[in-house]
Chains A and B, each alone.
Chain A
Amino acid sequence: MDLREKIDVPVMADLAASGEKPEYLFWVGCAGAFDDRYKKVTRAFASILNHLGTNYAVLGTEETCTGDPARRAGNEMLFQMQAIQLIELFESYGIEKIITICPHCYNVFKNEYPDLGGHYRVISYVHFLEHALAEGRLKPDLNRFANVRITYHDPCYLARANDICEPPRNILNMLTGHLIEMERNRHFALCCGAGGGQMFKEAEKGDKEIYMERTEEALKTEPGVIATACPFCMVMLTDGIKYKNREEDVKNYDIAELIALALKK
């Protein structure tokens, strides 16, 4: 699939206008909509959804922040404002299932919205992709990355926060015969340094940037690809690779991109 061309993405309001209700809401998230690098991940995942013929829609211009960074930075008021508005919006569209690509959005919908009355079936894209692969609905070219050394960086809000460690590994093990673990992995993985609002500010004074510590650990596995599953981890590790001058030989891809790249045209 060509990731440079326009892709058709159904928008919730348009569907509602014609009386349709999709099965899934694909929640794009702020980084998914605005971060230049991560937009490619959004495109990759949306093209997979199209490829599968999934019955979904996005909120488009109606989407807004879940409030997650506000809550984690201590601004409960702002978090709840965002959350309560979104819950009302979801209700107006009768949304029951949400697919997320961002682990932070996944966590906040799944674990924190129920306290405010928002109950949904929240599906992380790693689960979604794992099932589609396992059921044979997605048939990537298994030779594409078969000989590429891949290491996987666990996002905190998938692994530690929500105990999602194996689905991404199952996917990667399908794509490559060389999935190499970093020393700190799964529940004990080191944070990329972006969580809890850190993404939006300079780090406090220290000896080292957290993302450099993690990038160095990833580079120790001598990878061709550092696979990530979170927009903020992607920003951090891409920066790390850049600062280490390893852009030529080490690529940072999201799991959805790897699958999209391996899908036969």
Chain B
Amino acid sequence: MISNFIFSLLLILAVWLFTRNVNRIARNIKMGKKLCINDQKSRRWRIMAWVAIGQSKMSTRPVSAILHIFVYVGFIVINIEMLEILIDGIFGTHRILSFLGAVYPVLISLFEILAVLVILACVIFLVRRNLIRLWRFRGNEMKAWPRTDANIILFTEILLMSSILVMNAADGLLQARGDVHYAAVGTFLVSDLMQSWFAGISDSALIQLERASWWFHIVGVLIFLNYIPYSKHFHIFLSFPNVFYSKLDPPGKMVNMPSITNEVKMMLDPAAGSMEEEGDIGQFGSKDATDLTWKHLMDAYTCTECGRCTSSCPASITGKKLSPRKVVMDVRDRIEEIGRNVRQSGPDSTDGKTLFDRITDEELWACTTCNACVQECPVNIDPLAMILELRRYQVMEQAAAPGEINATFSNIENNGAPWQFSNEDRLLWTAGRKKEEEVISKKK
């Protein structure tokens, strides 16, 4: 039949486009620096099960955690119905899974309940974003596209879920009227209540409504599938690998730079240094997105812009320009930009831009390295690691630290303390206040 053919064609087209888009993102992520993460596999699986599948870190904000669970479980479970739709679409069958007998209406009813919960959650999410306008959805980085993106996702999910309910209501009504093409398969819990809305409609119009809803749903899903790789919604795929490849060290540990160790050893004792001629030790820190590791870039693509990081960042809370979410989004947007340039003008093309065209010193130097953003992220993104890499570039390649920080560096170098105190005074604290005051007054 022609409709089966069209359906199959659409399906193949959608899957092909989606694969292309995923490959694009994979290529972009691989533009990051190499990094080998293959340790502690069983611990990684446990963390993935707990944090990504179990969404444990969401629970700190219970309202959004529960609403998100509705959408998450809805998404996964309703995929079983997608299976039925795909088989029906390809082979021209109708409700193929109804061979399950009495289980079938129970299953469909479960989907319907989930669909209602998804709609409910999405409506509340829209209200929180657009009417209540929660602070964490209002940052500077959340204007324009990110704001629209969030709303598109929520509206689409409402439409997709609604079409299932309308389709089932029409189907149920046709079953009740004994239409030959709509075999009675049992009562569906939610759409049964909606049947009265369509009671006055003729059989043929009802069939059209049922078919239109079916097509609307599946075409909508296929379009949405291809929207996701352009959207923050890509977190539904990347959350799992991203959590799997989480940093397992204590959060306080900053990543070491072995490339520097040899240099430092040579500086401290030139005789002890390795005999190797000065090899290319590369650039210190990161200037552009491609200087970051692939894990930083995967972090960036995993971000769903929820803003928990920013809403817990001491700098952001007190009105500073720094927003960890913006840093992550800047990295993602920049690697997308680099990817586009590479596709258009070849792998060696440069546009003369860097991450510093997006991220200012004012943002970079406001970070207290407190790890609040890292602690908050439900998918274990590490914005602090990105900030550190950018600071390393500014300090070691550009000598562009703020003046007071440079003074701190020279104090450490010259006096062995961040302040201008003499090492000779390091034991003054033992002297007792009286004695200490004497020593200080003598010095003056």
Residue of A nearest to B258 (CB): A115
Cβ–Cβ contact A111 & B250, under 8 A: yes
Partner of A191, one of B370, B425, B428: B370
Partner of A194, one of B320, B368, B413, B426: B368
CB A210 to nearest CB in B, in angstroms, measures 4
Residue of B nearest to A42 (CB): B429
Asked if B332 lies at the interface with its beta carbon under 8 angstroms from chain A, I say no
Cβ–Cβ contact B409 & A70, under 8 A: yes
Query: What CA separation (Å) do A92 and B302 show in the bound complex?
Result: 47
Query: What CA separation (Å) do A154 and B264 show in the bound complex?
Result: 35
Cβ–Cβ contact B260 & A116, under 8 A: no
Query: What CA separation (Å) do A177 and B330 show in the bound complex?
Result: 48
CB A163 to nearest CB in B, in angstroms, measures 7
Query: What CA separation (Å) do A161 and B374 show in the bound complex?
Result: 10
Asked if A223 lies at the interface with its beta carbon under 8 angstroms from chain B, I say no
Cβ–Cβ contact B408 & A112, under 8 A: no
Cβ–Cβ contact B370 & A195, under 8 A: yes
Q: Mark A182-196, 1 if CB is under 8 A from B, else 0.
A: 000001101101111
Residue of A nearest to B261 (CB): A80
Asked if A46 lies at the interface with its beta carbon under 8 angstroms from chain B, I say yes
CB A78 to nearest CB in B, in angstroms, measures 6
Cβ–Cβ contact B371 & A160, under 8 A: yes
Asked if A75 lies at the interface with its beta carbon under 8 angstroms from chain B, I say yes
Cβ–Cβ contact A160 & B268, under 8 A: no
Cβ–Cβ contact A11 & B427, under 8 A: yes
Residue of B nearest to A81 (CB): B264
Asked if A245 lies at the interface with its beta carbon under 8 angstroms from chain B, I say no
Q: Mark B349-392, 1 if CB is under 8 A from A, else 0.
A: 00000000000001001111111101110000000000010111
Residue numbers in B under 8 Å from A61 (CB-CB): 423-424, 426-427
Residue numbers in A under 8 Å from B268 (CB-CB): 81, 84-85
Q: Mark B412-424, 1 if CB is under 8 A from A, else 0.
A: 1100111101011
Query: What CA separation (Å) do A72 and B366 show in the bound complex?
Result: 12
Residue numbers in A under 8 Å from B251 (CB-CB): 160-161
Cβ–Cβ contact A199 & B375, under 8 A: no
Cβ–Cβ contact B265 & A77, under 8 A: no
Q: Mark A51-94, 1 if CB is under 8 A from B, else 0.
A: 00000001011011101011111111110111011000000000
Cβ–Cβ contact B417 & A33, under 8 A: yes
Query: What CA separation (Å) do A42 and B432 show in the bound complex?
Result: 11
Query: What CA separation (Å) do A102 and B256 show in the bound complex?
Result: 21
Residue numbers in B under 8 Å from A30 (CB-CB): 417-419, 421
Asked if A9 lies at the interface with its beta carbon under 8 angstroms from chain B, I say yes
Residue numbers in B under 8 Å from A199 (CB-CB): 418
Cβ–Cβ contact B256 & A73, under 8 A: no
Residue of B nearest to A73 (CB): B405
Asked if B402 lies at the interface with its beta carbon under 8 angstroms from chain A, I say yes
Query: What CA separation (Å) do A74 and B426 show in the bound complex?
Result: 26
Partner of A208, one of B319, B392, B412: B319
Asked if A204 lies at the interface with its beta carbon under 8 angstroms from chain B, I say yes
Which residues A127-160 have CB closer than 8 A to chain B? 156-157, 160
Most chain B CB neighbours (cut-off 10 Å) among A69, A85, A191, A203:
A191
Cβ–Cβ contact B318 & A210, under 8 A: yes
Partner of A213, one of B257, B314, B366, B401: B314
Which residues A185-236 have CB closer than 8 A to chain B? 187-188, 190-191, 193-210, 212-214
Residue numbers in B under 8 Å from A213 (CB-CB): 314, 317-318
Residue numbers in A under 8 Å from B376 (CB-CB): 188
Asked if A32 lies at the interface with its beta carbon under 8 angstroms from chain B, I say yes
CB A239 to nearest CB in B, in angstroms, measures 15
CB A122 to nearest CB in B, in angstroms, measures 12
Asked if A43 lies at the interface with its beta carbon under 8 angstroms from chain B, I say yes
Cβ–Cβ contact A193 & B368, under 8 A: yes
Query: What CA separation (Å) do A208 and B318 show in the bound complex?
Result: 5
Partner of B416, one of A64, A188, A206: A64
Residue of B nearest to A156 (CB): B370
Query: What CA separation (Å) do A5 and B376 show in the bound complex?
Result: 46
Query: What CA separation (Å) do A112 and B252 show in the bound complex?
Result: 9
Cβ–Cβ contact A157 & B252, under 8 A: yes
Cβ–Cβ contact A160 & B252, under 8 A: yes
Residue numbers in A under 8 Å from B315 (CB-CB): 204, 206, 210
Cβ–Cβ contact A65 & B263, under 8 A: no
Task: Write 15 A-B pairs (CB below 8 A) sorted by A numbering.
Answer: A33-B421, A43-B432, A65-B412, A73-B408, A75-B395, A76-B257, A76-B284, A81-B267, A162-B250, A162-B252, A191-B368, A195-B369, A205-B321, A206-B320, A213-B317
User: A77-B264, A195-B368 are known contacts; what are 10 more A-B pairs with Cβ within 8 Å?
Assistant: A6-B435, A32-B429, A69-B408, A76-B257, A76-B260, A111-B249, A197-B369, A197-B405, A200-B404, A202-B404
